[in-house]
Amino acid sequence: MIVLQEKRVQVSPPLTRGPSAFIPENEVMQANGLDERTNLLVEEYSTSGRLDNITQVMSIHTQYLESFLRSQFYMLRMDGPLPLPYRHYIAIMAAARHQCSYLINMHVDEFLKTGGIAEWLNGLEYIPQRLKNLNEINKLLAHRPWLITKEHIQKLVKTGENNWSLPELVHAVVLLAHYHALASFVFGSGINPERDPDTSNGVRLIAVNNFCVCDLANDNNIENASLTSSNFGIADSLSELEALMERMKRLQEDKEDEEASQEEMDTRFEKEKKESLLVISGAFDDEIVSTDVSRYVEDPGFGYKDFARRGEDHLPTFRAQDYTWENHGFSLVNRLYSDIGHLLDEKFRMVYNLTYNTMATHEDVDTTTLRRALFNYVHCMYGIRYDDYDYGEVNQLLERSLKVYIKTVTCYPERTTKRMYDSYWRQFKHSEKVHVNLLLMEARMQAELLYALRAITRHLT
Amino acid sequence: MEKMARVSTALGGNTLTGRTMFCHLDAPANAISVCRDAAQVVVAGRNIFKIYSIEEEQFVEKLNLRVGRKPSLNFSCADVVWHQMDENLLATAATNGVVVTWNLGKPSRNKQDQLFTEHKRTVNKVCFHPTEVYMLLSGSQDGYMKCFDLRKKDSVSTFSGQSESVRDVQFSIRDYFTFAATFENGNVQLWDIRRPDRYERMFTAHNGPVFCCDWHPEDRGWLATGGRDKMVKVWDMNTTRAKEIYCVQTIASVARVKWRPECKHHIATCSMMVDHNIYVWDVRRPFIPSAMFEEHKDVTTGIVWRHLHDPYFLLSGSKDSTLYQHIFKDASQPIDRANPEGLCYSLYGDLAFAAKESLISSDSNRKPYIGDRRHPIFFKRKLDPTEQFEYISSSSALSVFETDVESGSMDWFVHTAKQYALAGRPLAELCDHNAKVAKGLDRNQVAQTWTMLRIIYSSLGTMSSTNLNHSMGKGSTTLPLMNSFNLKDIPSGLGSESRLDRSKGESRTENILMDSSSTLINNEDNEETEGSDVPADYLLGDVEADEDDLYMMDHENPHAEEQEYSLPQEAFPLRHEIVDNPSALDHLQDKADSPHVSGNEAETVSLTPVESFSLISISHSLYENRLPSDFFNPIVRDTLLFYAEQGDVQTAVSVLIVLGDRIRKEIDEQTQEHWYTSYIDLLQRFQLWNISNEVIKLSTCRAINCLNQASTTLHINCSNCKRPMSNRGWICDRCRQCASMCAVCHHVVKGLFVWCQGCSHGGHLQHIMKWLETSSHCPAGCGHLCEYT
């Protein structure tokens, strides 16, 4: 089995020249609502002067792309507390946490174009102290956002000469969260490096972690993980799909027949948290971090540590109802960095409500439960719990290989492989998988923002 | 808290008494509600569910409803409400989506009565019918509202908002069947309880979630809503379209609103985030809260008036784990702290002053400034209908004082701003140019400053003869001016020559001139001042009036000579070769008493003579002893500070820009920023947009520089359909045509595109220019008489 798979990987063209390594080029190009989509792409091209691969892949979901581009445009180019080069450098710092050379390259260019000091690109020791101070929160946000406390905020805000004003800090946090999440999307959808031939400036990372390279490396690594167990035949996956739909229907229809007790609910959440632990146990000791990327990274060893893992200190669960995006997060973010709240709000809402009522070959399916399960599962891994959600649903709806994928994409996106991408939901269309990626990305961004904003709120009170 | 007031009100027999007091809860509260008899309050939160009785001096815990070893999520309350008909009946909304009712009459410890687990998501709000005992309404995150009959196991009817999460539901107080529901998407819906299929009415009330609403207790048509957009709005629902009649802008998103009993226009609010205070607003005066309670240390989550008919007692629960009873007498009234006077200068020095009428009229004999006023004093009077809770009368008076036309003229400012050169040429040229400009406007002191700066920071070699000429002062015309300046302050120092005293207002007594020299100067002045009053006066009206004591001249003055010796090593670094200009030097020696301008400090005084000499001595001495060019920085800094102090921020900023890095580090960032903003503000008020932009561009302050990046959006209309182009790019998404076609050649314009703001037509710059030579109508044939500037 394994051998077969390996071969398949090798046989497939190593580097398609489409926007994504996971998705065939023609998949990306053919989608519904072509007209609208073309307009949007033309518009994007005319404003930014290029159409990067991310945009192309996202354009499968035109509606979402629009709000994504709008918010990204706002935080990078419109009025804001931070100077333009800073914004791009922060993007670089964020992307570097996940060794996402794609995003780094993109923003190195932008950084220089907006008048950034080229010297900064030599690494973190060349940047002003003020930016350097951001490292800690960048690191925590990227990997263990629940550790952010108001002390971290205080440290940034009250350091005399190099202090960050709150609006600046919020802007930075939004950028960091955005780019961490975007890195998840880039890896999750296997975005190819830009074809851009411009490699002249020397700072550009030349395809160090090219996808085929890292694919193979990672695939070897993951062998011992649970993944191989999910190799079903086509027939299997067909029935799998049927079963999934059956379960969804059941969940939607008769919720109240099994009245779960409080304890039961608690254990379900804990179980889900714990299980996310076991989802990936493959050790990545031999991580190849290229020096090109590592110069933007401080403390590269710091990675995602499972929220559920019980250390000496018992971390309290983040109760979603006590600090929601809609009530609290929005108000704070919009107060300090005007209008971004509306844009993010629209984006979150868009991704949460986006549906075509299809599942693979089936039409007219209400996918709400499935989408909610994906969203909440991501939050669950970050220790955010919804009182009104039954975490048993996650277990019923998300198969193991999907959980592996989710966990990898959100927590250590750099380890995502094509095989993980292929191994879940084999009946589903690529566009649906991109949809999943969008959900994961936004859920992750929201989780990071919630933790960071909560810390800022605590600092304020 | 300091001034605890004891209040008692008679309310149909039973009396409410009490004081401002609080008690600690064990956990943050999410909501509170009072019992009908105003004697008990229930507090609910994630980890708390207790009933307190309100005693006269304190809160006393009466009952803990949170029982059991491991309390379930059903106890984790998002909202709580106490029935206003039945004092044993409570309902809570749990975060896990369960609606629970509680019967206090139960004998067992657990008072939980019924559980409704019909909502799929968190229930945000529960509400009892005001008159019907068994009717309970809930609104949930899942977008549904459900009506329960407490005698039945399940909901009686379900209302689907068809939009997003429900944030609040409230039964109308007067209308038996009506309830209002507010939604996360900004909508408010009115429902008839008998018709679950469709809402009666819907309107968009806010931008973003509407967190709360409250029906007016007396006026049946009024509904107040509060939203995330920081607004409280009052809607009149009597008309067919809900009409917004009042709007209060708060500083944070509004979490709760509650009409104040017995006061038609008062409403209490608290906010969701950041702001911890409770405000009571008079909706007719939306700019300042009429009362404010500042006790809480974290956000207030629940407010409720203690009694339905008592406007003096307000209870509140908060995330800081306290429960408060606020007494209206202890409220702080921001109006007391507000500044009742307003003062503003116009561009031309006119002054407007507004104050409470009582203040103005009290001293009627004080006639406001007798200068040539063009307008009389305005009195604006607005008397509110006297009402019980009106605290102040809001009548005020506005006075306008005008300065006389001549001294108030700001022409010099505009001219200077327009003519100054700030960049793009070598420093010396800039300085010379600016000096010439200043000179041209009879601002000799400023001119001298520029000249000096040139001398200090630039090589002397570049000095041309013309420069020298004017740096030396243009002969006799300037001298009287200078001297008349001196006249002004010297008397205050010497106590003599009072007839020449021209100092106005607060004259600076600081006089740094030596006796001998000043007498000398005075003598000179006496000779020369006569007949030169007018220009002098003009300058006095200007900002640099006080600086005259620095006008030291004359190296005939022996005293100045002495000082020169004390500074022999002062010299100027030279970068270029000196072009000796004999004529200039001759000139110099002839008119050796030419004035030099500098800062106001004593050291400057001693310096000035040196400069007038240095022109002669440079050729031999200066090469040997170079001084770093920043040697003079402190002096220059003082000069700038002086100008800014005098109000001539224009000079300060211009010098700052011209000198750039040479002086920037000497002055702290904040001061610079302050100067820049004042100057830019002035320029913009004179509508000198280009110049203000240039200043912004040339400034080295980060905060100033980015001003240019703000609001850089250019809104354009499509030339076909004349509607605003929402799209970026060339294609109008309404009429699907290329918007930027040249009306002359009918090609798409890429590059310079000029168009008429009247009709949106335009085209290639060249084409349009050509067209307009022959015709003044629009080339597109729309008949518009295009105007291009």
pLDDT of residue B711 exceeding 60, the answer is: yes
Average pLDDT of the residues in B322-332: 89
Q: Determine what percent of chain A is predicted with pLDDT higher than 70.
A: 74
- Mutation to test the A interface, candidates B76, B274, B299, most A Cβ within 10 Å: B274
* Band of residue A446 on the pLDDT scale cut at 50, 70, 90: very high
**How many angstroms away from the CA of B117 is the closest CA of chain A?**
8
How far, in Å, CA of A137 to CA of A160, rounded?
Answer: 18
Q: Does B588 touch chain A (CB under 8 A)?
A: no
Only one residue has tokens 């445009």, namely A73
Q: Report, as an integer, the average pLDDT of A160-173.
A: 87
Taking the CA of residue B253 and the nearest CA in chain A, the distance in Å comes to 7
In the structure, what pLDDT confidence band is assigned to residue A175 with cuts at 50, 70 and 90? very high
pLDDT digits (tens, 9 = 90+) for A234-293: 455 567 777 777 777 777 665 544 455 666 767 777 777 666 655 554 444 444 555 667
* B233 compared with B581, residue with greater pLDDT: B233
CA distance A79 to chain B (A): 6
Say if CB B777 and CB B743 are below 8 A apart: no
Residues of B in contact with A326 (CB under 8 A): 165, 184, 209, 228
What does B731-757 look like in DSSP terms, one character per residue? Answer: B-TTT-SBS-B-TTT-SB--S-EEE-T
Question: Cβ of B297 under 8 Å from any chain A Cβ?
Answer: yes
Catalytic residue (one of A100, A212, A380, A411): A100
So what's the pLDDT on residue A254?
58
Across the interface, of A261, A331, A387, the residue whose CB is closest to B76 is: A387
Residue range B36-68, pLDDT digits in tens:
888 899 999 888 899 999 888 889 998 888 877
Read off the pLDDT band of B404 (50, 70, 90).
low
3-class secondary structure for B722-734? CCECCCCCCECCC
Q: What is the pLDDT of residue B663?
A: 78
Count of C-beta atoms within a 10 Å radius of residue B653? 28
Predicted pLDDT at B775: 80
pLDDT (0 to 100) of residue A291:
61
Count how many pairs of residues, chain A against chain B, have C-beta atoms within 8 Å. 89
Contacts of A265 in chain B (CB under 8 A): 73, 96
Per-residue pLDDT averaged across B612-623, rounded? 42
Per-residue pLDDT reduced to its tens digit, A82-127: 888 999 999 999 998 888 888 888 898 889 888 888 888 888 888 8
Q: Is A48 on the interface with B (CB under 8 A)?
A: no
Number of Cβ atoms within 10 Å of the Cβ of B569: 10
Q: Summarize the confidence of residues A351-365 as an average pLDDT.
A: 82
Of B72, B184, B276, the CB nearest to A262: B72
Residue A443 has pLDDT above 80, yes or no: yes
Q: How far apart are CA B722 and CA B720, in angstroms?
A: 6
The confidence band for B742, taking pLDDT boundaries of 50, 70 and 90, is: confident
A328: chain B residues, CB-CB within 8 Å? 272-273
| pLDDT one-digit tens code per residue, B103-118 | 988 888 888 888 898 8
Q: What integer pLDDT is reported at residue B70 of this predicted model? A: 67
The pair of three-digit structure tokens given for residue A372, joined into one six-digit string:
């909610």
Q: Which of A256, A327, A460 sits opposite B272 (nearest CB)?
A: A327
In the predicted structure, residue B617 carries a pLDDT above the cut 60: no
Question: CA-CA distance, B538 to A340, in Å (whole number)?
Answer: 52
pLDDT digits (tens, 9 = 90+) for B217-243: 887 789 999 998 899 999 998 888 888
Which of A325, A331, A332 should be substituted to probe chain B, the one whose Cβ sees the most B Cβ atoms within 10 Å? A331
A83 touches chain B (CB under 8 A): yes
- Is A212 catalytic? The answer is no
Mean pLDDT for all residues in chain B? 73
Taking residues B324-335, what's their average pLDDT? 87
ipTM field: 0.76
pLDDT the model gives residue B632: 78
Per-residue pLDDT reduced to its tens digit, B533-560? 444 444 443 444 344 444 444 444 444 3
- Lookup result for tokens 């203040």: B359
Q: What is the dihedral of CA A415, A416, A420, A426, to 10 degrees?
A: 170
- Interface touch A387/B208, C-beta < 8 Å: no
Residue B182 has pLDDT above 90, yes or no: yes
> Minimal Cα–Cα distance from B298 to chain A, Å?
6
pLDDT of B377 above 50: no
Lowest mean pLDDT among B88-97, B475-484, B520-529: B475-484
pLDDT of residue B609: 41
Residue B301 touches chain A, beta carbons under 8 Å: no
Test A457 with B274 for CB contact under 8 angstroms.
yes
When mean pLDDT is compared over A360-374, B300-314, B368-382, B748-762, the highest value belongs to B300-314
Whether pTM > 0.90 for this model: the answer is no
Q: Nearest C-alpha of chain B: how many angstroms from A116? A: 14
Least confident of A38-52, A92-106, A171-185, B251-265: A38-52
CB–CB contact B228 A330 (8 Å): yes
What is the structure's pLDDT at A412?
A: 84
What is the reported pLDDT for A448? 93
**CA separation (Å) from B73 to A31, A255, A379?**
44, 17, 19
CB proximity B298 to A under 8 Å: yes
**Predicted pLDDT of residue A17:** 61
Question: Following DSSP, what letter does each residue of A165-201 receive, concatenated?
Answer: PHHHHHHHHHHHHHHHHHHHHHHHTTBPPP-----TT
Q: Which span out of A412-416, B353-357, B384-388 was modeled with the highest average pLDDT? A: A412-416
pLDDT of residue B557: 42
* B285/B734 Cα distance (integer angstroms): 42
- Tokens for A159, please give them: 């350091």
Give the pLDDT confidence score for residue B180 in this predicted structure. 93
CA distance linking residue A166 with residue B226, whole number of Å: 26
Neighbouring C-beta atoms of residue B335, cutoff 10 Å: 16
Question: Quick check: B332 contacting A, CB < 8 Å?
Answer: no
Higher pLDDT, B373 or A67: A67
CA distance, residue B501 to nearest chain A CA (Å) = 49
Looking at the complex, does the CB of residue B777 fall below 8 Å from at least one CB of chain A? no
Contact residues for B171 (Cβ-Cβ < 8 A; gap 6+)? B127, B128, B129, B130, B137, B178, B179, B215
More confident residue, A25 or A430: A430
Statement: residue B278 has pLDDT above 90: yes
| Tens digits of residue pLDDT in B92-148 | 998 888 899 999 888 888 888 888 988 888 899 999 998 888 899 999 988 899 999
Q: Establish if B405 touches chain A: CB-CB under 8 angstroms.
A: no
Distance from CA of B64 to the nearest CA of A (A): 20
Confidence of residue B257 (pLDDT cuts 50, 70, 90): very high
Q: Which of A184-188, A344-348, B437-441, B482-486 has the lowest mean pLDDT?
A: B482-486
Q: A331 at the B interface (CB within 8 A)?
A: yes
Confidence of residue B459 (pLDDT cuts 50, 70, 90): low
Considering only A308-322, A349-363, B7-21, B370-384, which range has the smallest mean pLDDT?
B370-384
- Checking if the pLDDT of B8 tops 60, the result is no
pLDDT at A309: 55
Is B168 in CB contact (< 8 Å) with chain A?
no
> Could B228 and A342 be called an inter-chain contact, meaning their C-beta atoms sit closer than 8 Å?
no
Give the model's pLDDT for residue A159: 72
- pLDDT bin (cut points 50, 70, 90) of residue A356 is confident
Q: Residue B46: which of A261, A319, A457 has the nearest Cβ?
A: A319
Span A22-46, mean pLDDT?
A: 68
CB contact under 8 A, B731 and A319: no
Nearest to B140 by CA among B193, B93, B190: B93
Among candidate residues A46, A125, A80, A47, the one with its CA nearest the CA of residue A294: A125
| Minimum-distance CB partner of B73 among A79, A262, A330 | A262
Q: Is residue B648 scored above 80 in pLDDT? A: yes
